[in-house]
Every structure is written in C-alpha cells, then in structure tokens.
Chains A and B, each alone.
Chain A
Amino acid sequence: MSSTEVTETAPASDERRDALVARLGEELGDALIAGHVDAGRDVWVRVATAAWEDAGRVARDVLGLRYFGFLSAIDWLPSPYGRSLDAAIDLEAEPASGEVEQMEQGVTGGETRFQVFARLHSVTEHIGLTLKVDVPNDTLALATWTRLFGGANWHEREVFEMFGISFEGHPSLRKLYLPGDFEGHPLRKDFPLLSRMVKPWPGIVDVEGMPGVADDEGGE
C-alpha cells in the first residue's frame, strides 16, 4: 500500500483517552482489568464482572459519559462451522489449515467465552468509551444496567435472547425479537446458520475490477 495513508496520522499518545482510563482506574481500583487506547481514535476498557454496574455508574457520573450508545455481547468461540465460504475462490484465498483456532478475546483480552460490551459517549467532550466485561462461563449472568440507563432495557433483552446471557435485576427479561417458543440463541457461534448449510453460497464472485484500470493492477 504505497500511496495510501494511515487514517488521521495517529499521534503516539492520546492524553484525553489516557486520562479517561486513568480516571476510571482511580475510581474502580483493581476492578479495572485492562485498558487499550487506539491513539486519536478510540478507547476500550475491561472491568471485573462484579464491578460491571459500578463501572457504568462511574462512567456516567464521574467521567460524564451520559449517552448510552449500545450494549451487546460477543461470543469468542471460533465458529465450529468454519467460515461458511465454500466457493473455490475462498478456499484459494485461504486454504484450510486444519488446526484448531484458539479463542482470542480481542483488544482487551479476557478469560471467558462470552463478553458483554457497551458503548458510552460524552456529548460534551465528544469522546466514546467501550466497556467490556467477562461473563462467567458457568452462570452466564451479569448485573443489569437498566438502573443506570433506560436504554439498556431493550439491549439487554436482545443479548438475552441472542446469546442466552441473563441480567440480574432486569425488570422484564423477555425475548425481544424472536417468538416466545424459539429455542436456541442465534448469535452464538455454535448456532448453525441452517440456510447456509442447506444451500451453498456462491462465494466471492463479485470481485470487480477497479474503475478505469486494468484488472489486476488496482488503485490509482
């Protein structure tokens, strides 16, 4: 990539975001497990499971991140069904290695299969923070944020039905989208996407040439 530049020439350090993580560390102490700053662009923190609600409260009241962006979860289990890309060109792009993928928990690390993450934003400082938390493998339960943010209600219901993570203290933890008798948690990696299993996907057939350029050169 000779001619392209890095988006927003990233400064080596980012004082505002570093300060945010530091402040959160002061308030939460040991409960702040990890922090990651993508200088000039974004910031992530991971907090202890027990301190999830506290972390939200601190972020809202102390850090001034009053805007509730979203709350969701992620299943770090490598998909047992592969990438479901079975066209010849996909296999060519990445031949099946055969080795079992390790579970890696993203930029702030983690110990459990499921992580819940939420995004808060400050409408005055214009800074956003992604908070992550491990969800214990055995209980799959977490404290609710509905007491902090009204919007968390629906998001937690969505996570509940999609991942099967329950939120303690949620006023009405029901299914949001799916019919009441639906079984399984669709966004878990081990939930098969049946339509893809039944009918093979044509794969990347829509790779197109760059406009006005010979096919295999690309770019300017």
Chain B
Amino acid sequence: MTAVTERQQLAYIANQAADMRVNVELETEGMTLNIGPQHPATHGTLRIIVKLDGEQVVAADPVPGYMHRGYEKLAEVRTYPQVTTLVNRIDWLGSFANEVPFILAAERLMEVEAPPRAQWIRTILFELSRIGNIALFLGDMAVQLGAVTPVFYAFRDREYVLNQIEAITGGRFHPNFDRIGGLKDDIPKGWVAETKGVLTKMRAFCDELDELLVGNEIFTARTRGVGVIPPEVGLSYGLSGANLRASGIDWDHRRDSPCGLVYDKLDWKVWTHPDGDSFARYWVRLQETREAILMLEQLLDGIPSGPIMAKVPRIIKVPAGEAYVATENPLGEMGYYVVSKGDLVPFRVKIRSASFNNISIVPWVLRGVYVPDVITILASLYFILGDIDR
C-alpha cells in the first residue's frame, strides 16, 4: 500500500522524455484508434477516440451520447411518481439506488418523512443494489484484464442478490418500488432469513475474488500504479464514490449526510486507500462490498415494526421550492436537483449522475498510458453507460 514515490514519478518523466527524443529523431507518425462505440471494453456504447504513438496514448477524447435518452426533459412532463420509472434506467445495475435520491428530494420539498420501517427497508434495498452492482464490477474488472473466470462467479452470485430484490419488489432490474412517503409494499414472509443466507454466499464470493485477484501477481502488476488520480484532481473533476475514496479522500454521503436513510444507526466504516491507482479502486470496492454485507446483517436484524407509508395525498403536488439531495450510490454521488413550481410535474430535474463526472476525467488520466492500461483504467473507474448518458 505504498504511494507512488517521487523517484518513480521522476523515472516515469525521464522515460517519457526519452521516448519523445526518439520520436523526434525518427519522426514517427501517430495513429488514431477508435475504441468503441462497439467495443468489448466499453460495455455499452461509449466511444473513445485515442491518438496513439505506438502503443502509447497521446490524447484521448471520449464521445458519449450514443445512449442519451433525455431524462431531464422527459421528467418535466411526468408526474413525480412517474419519474421513478425513468430514473430506474439510469444506472441499470443498481436501479433502486437511483430512485432513492429523487424520492428524498421530493419528500424534502413536501416536508414528508417516511416512517422508520420504510427507511430501514429502503436502506436494505439500497445496500442490496450496491452489492448487486459492485459484484459485477469485481468480476468485470478481471475480464477487462483478461481473466475470464471471475465474471462467471460474479454473474452467478449476483443472481442471488437480484432474486432477493425481486422477491420484495417484483423486478430484478427495475424495481420502481420507492414511493414518496414510503414504499410500495412490505417485505414478504421469510425474506429476512433467506437474505441472510445470500449474504453468506456473497461473503464467500468476496473472499474468492480476494484470493483469485487481489493476491495475484499479474493482477497487481497490471493495476498498481496504473491510472493514478491525485486527490486534488479527483475533487476538481468531481469524482465520487470509491474512485475518490481510492485517492485517499475520506468522504461518504452515507456517513456524512445520511438524510432519509438509516446509516447513522449502524456500526460501519468508510474504506479509503492512499494510492489512487486502479488497484486502489478495485480494493476499495471490494472492501465496500464486504462492508455492505456487514451493514445488511445489522439492518436485517433491526427492522422496526410499523407502517411503511406516511400519509401523503392521493394526487401528489409538490410545493414550490428547490432541493438537491445526493446519496452515495454504487457508482458514486448521485443527486437530483429538483425545482418545483407547486405543480404535478417537476419544473426542472437536474440529474447529477456519478459516472458522468467519473468519466469526464478520462482525457486527463489516459494521457501517456499504454493501450492495455486504457482498458484497465476505464474498467477501474467503473462506469455504466446509462449513468453517463442519462
């Protein structure tokens, strides 16, 4: 866990300078490589135009928008309860987590608070989404590095989590379960015990990947010191979530502003890593998955009884006002800036999605790396295309 030393940095700079001299002497010509929009590493339709010198990247320019669906515009013609259906599709791997900040923003404007039981179940679903989402990252990162097996484990074990989400909400991917003032339904009978079984499996999954990848020399060689993002740069680009925590910034919405969710009632810790490289990002996410399992165990034991819905009017009109609520989603800070004019529909919804900011750093971080590292860095930043394009 050593940070990149000054000596290493100097050596890197010296290397670059030497390469440049060679290039000047040989007058080599650059090559433009189009990564995407259809490319296995972009898992979606992100396009990155990379200017190469040999295998080294000179400049990278991501071109998002192949999946732009205009949710901000669409939200302006939908009633508040209808918006959750849209935002489900932003980060489609952790859908429930997308609904929560919007609902919380609407609740803040309406001055409504969900009853404790609803808050607990919300938090449970939130963390389950996180595990389901990050589990895929843990496997997918390995696939991007060339190890095929972990992703099969990830798909296998994530299915257990999705089953539990489906058991409550009726939807594996798009629950559309959160309501202003509470939840659509209560949890079914026997669900808590079943989920505990799933948590045991997920813990085994984390241990398996820990042994398979984190302890693997090739994995370490491929990720250590690759794509280092200093904390100041990360902040300036608005990186969030594990990407920022892997740069050593100890900040987590769940701990520091747990509005509407019950994280303050749990015993857990925020993981950080000082290095800021791809390995750190993987490691932090792995630890966060474990921490989520730990949290879920406490949550499952402590579900209070009571109603799951506060009293809200049948037809929801949100009083005029503005609110920004952000939560710590699997991918990072996700927030909704909701402007209401006291109408059935929001006047303006600005969706602040995590991947948009996380990927906007790509031109900065890809400069000077090798082509294989492009893939490593993209994978370690972990984006979901719907979350970039909205």
Contact = CB atoms under 8 A, between A and B. Distances in A.
Nearest to A81: B77
Contacts of B333: 69
A42 B238 contact: no
B68 A178 contact: yes
A44 interface: yes
Contacts of A124: 251
Contacts of B165: none
Contacts of B185: 211
Interface in B294-345: 307-315, 317, 320-324, 326, 333, 335, 337, 339, 341, 343-345
Interface string A147-162: 0111101110000001
A4 B77 contact: no
- Determine the main DSSP class of B at the interface with A: loop
Nearest to A216: B314
Contact of B337 (A8, A119, A123, A220): A119
Interface stretch (B126-134, B216-224, B352-360): B352-360
- Interface magnitude class on chain B: 35 or more
A41 B108 contact: yes
B77 A107 contact: no
Contact of B344 (A68, A83, A191, A196): A83
Interface stretch (A19-27, A135-143, A199-207): A199-207
A210 interface: yes
Nearest to B307: A220
A31 interface: no
B9 to A, nearest CB: 20
A207 B314 contact: yes
B237 A150 contact: yes
A219 B314 CA distance: 10
A84 B77 contact: yes
Contacts of A90: 344
B236 A201 contact: no
B355 to A, nearest CB: 11
A74 interface: yes
Contact of B238 (A38, A69, A126, A128): A69
B236 A204 contact: no
- Determine the main DSSP class of A at the interface with B: loop
Nearest to B313: A218
Contacts of A44: 322
Contacts of A178: 65, 68
A191 to B, nearest CB: 8
B76 A79 contact: yes
B256 A154 contact: no
A15 to B, nearest CB: 17
A119 B111 CA distance: 22
Given A72-B337, A94-B344, A211-B185, A85 B77 contact: yes
Contact of A2 (B250, B311, B344): B311
B265 to A, nearest CB: 15
Across the A-B interface, the 10 shortest Cβ-Cβ residue pairs: A219-B311, A177-B65, A151-B238, A123-B251, A68-B238, A151-B237, A84-B77, A177-B68, A126-B256, A154-B360
14 contacts: A3-B310, A4-B112, A69-B335, A72-B350, A85-B77, A123-B249, A148-B236, A151-B239, A151-B361, A154-B356, A193-B77, A204-B79, A218-B311, A218-B314
Interface of A: 1-8, 38, 41-42, 44, 66-70, 72, 74-75, 79, 83-85, 89-90, 93-94, 104, 106-107, 117, 119, 123-124, 126, 128, 130, 148-151, 153-155, 162, 175-179, 186-187, 191, 193, 196, 201, 204, 206-208, 210-211, 216, 218-220
Given A68-B357, A151-B361, 9 more contacts: A7-B111, A7-B112, A69-B326, A72-B337, A123-B249, A186-B70, A204-B315, A211-B308, A219-B310
